[in-house]
Structure 1
C-alpha cells in the first residue's frame, strides 16, 4: 500500500482573523450603539447617511472600525474566492492573505486620497466627501454579507462556488441600492458637475474594476 499525500489546510489563522473582525464589529456596536442601530438598517433607511454625513465623518471612530471590519472580511473573501478557483498556492495561505490585505488597504487609501484631491481641484470637496462617505458606508454594510460568506466557506460549505456567487450577488445588490439612492439624493447637486462626475466614475470607479477583471481573466 503506497502512502497518499494529503494537504491539510490549517484553519487556525482564519479563525483568529474572523474573531478579530467580529471583535471590531462588537466594539463598534458597544461604543456607538445608536450609530450602529442606524447603520444596520442602512439599505432600508438613509438615516445613518443623513445624520453622519458631515465634516469629520471619515475620522469618526465608528466609521474607522467599520472600515477595518470591511477590509478584514473583504480580504478574506477575496482570498477564499482565489483559493476556490485555485488561483493561489495552498502552501502560502497566510502570506497570500496578508498580501491581499496590504494591497487592498493601500488601494482604498490611495483611491480615497485621489477622490478628495478631485474634490479640491474642482472646488466640490463637500459634495465629493458626501458621495465617498455614502459609498464607503454601503461597502462597509456589505462586509456583513462577506463575513457570513466567509464563515460558510471556511467551516460549512468549503470552496462552494454557489455560496461565492450568492455572496457576490448580495454584495452587488447592496452597493447597487446605495448607488441608486446616492444618485437620487444628490441629483440636483450633481447636475452642475455632471461632466466631472462622469470623469470621476471613469477614472476612480470603473477603471480599477476593468484592470482587476483583466488581471483575473489573464
Structure 2
C-alpha cells in the first residue's frame, strides 16, 4: 500500500480573523446597544441614519467598530472568493489575506479622499458627507452577510460558488436599498448636482464593480 500525502489547510488564522471581527462587533453592541439594534434593522428602517448626529458621525466609535468589522470580513470574503475560483497554496494563504485587507483599507480610504476632493471642487461638501456616511453605513451592514457567508464557506460548504453568489446578491440588494433611500431623502439636492452624482456613480461605484467582475470572469 503506497502512502498518500494529504495536504490539510490550517484554519487557525481564519478562525482568529472571524473571532476578532466578532469581538469588535460585540464590543460595539455592548457599548452602544440602542445604536446596534437600530443598525440591525437598517434596510427596513432608516432610524439609525436619521438619529445619527451630522457632526463627526463618521468618527463616532460605533461606526468605527463596524467599519473595522467590515474590513476584516470583506477581506476574508474576497480571499474566499479568490480561493473558490483560483485556489491558493497553503504557503501563501495568510500572506494573501494580509495583502487583501491592506488593499481594502487603502482602496476605501483613497475613495473617500477622492469624494472629498470632488466635493471641494463642486462645492457640495454637505451632500458628499451624507453620501459617504450613508454608503459606508449600508456597506458596514452588508458585512453581516459577509460574516455569515465566511462561516459557511470555511466550516460548512467549502468553496461553494452558490453561497458566494447568494451573498453577493444580498450585499448588492442591501446597498441598493441604501442608495435608493439616499436619493429619496436628498432628491432635491441631487437634482441640483445631477452631473456630479452621475460622475460619482460611474467613477467610484460602477467602475470598481466592473473591474472586480472582469477579474472574476477572467
Equivalent in the alignment of 1:100: 100
Contact 2:77–2:150 under 8 Å retained in 1? yes
- How far off its partner does 1:185 sit? 1.2
Q: Aligned partners of 2:23 and 2:37: how far apart in 1?
A: 17
Contact 2:85–2:216 under 8 Å retained in 1? no
TM superposition score normalised by structure 2: 0.96
**SS of equivalent residue, structure 1 residue 85:** helix
Asked if 1:74 corresponds to 2:74, the answer is: yes
Equivalent in the alignment of 1:26: 26
**SS of equivalent residue, structure 2 residue 10:** coil
Asked if 1:172 corresponds to 2:150, the answer is: no
Contact 1:142–1:174 under 8 Å retained in 2? yes
- C-alpha RMSD of the superposition: 1.3
Q: Aligned partners of 1:203 and 1:164: how far apart in 2?
A: 25
Gaps of 5+ in 1: none
Equivalent in the alignment of 2:190: 190
Gaps of 5+ in 2: none
Equivalent in the alignment of 1:131: 131
Q: Aligned partners of 2:216 and 2:5: how far apart in 1?
A: 30
Equivalent in the alignment of 1:208: 208
Q: Aligned partners of 2:53 and 2:191: how far apart in 1?
A: 20
Q: Aligned partners of 1:211 and 1:67: how far apart in 2?
A: 23
Asked if 1:217 corresponds to 2:217, the answer is: yes
Q: Aligned partners of 1:6 and 1:86: how far apart in 2?
A: 20
Q: Aligned partners of 1:171 and 1:142: how far apart in 2?
A: 5
After superposition, the C-alpha distances for 1:20-56 in whole angstroms (9 at most, x for unaligned) are: 0000000001111111111111001111111115121
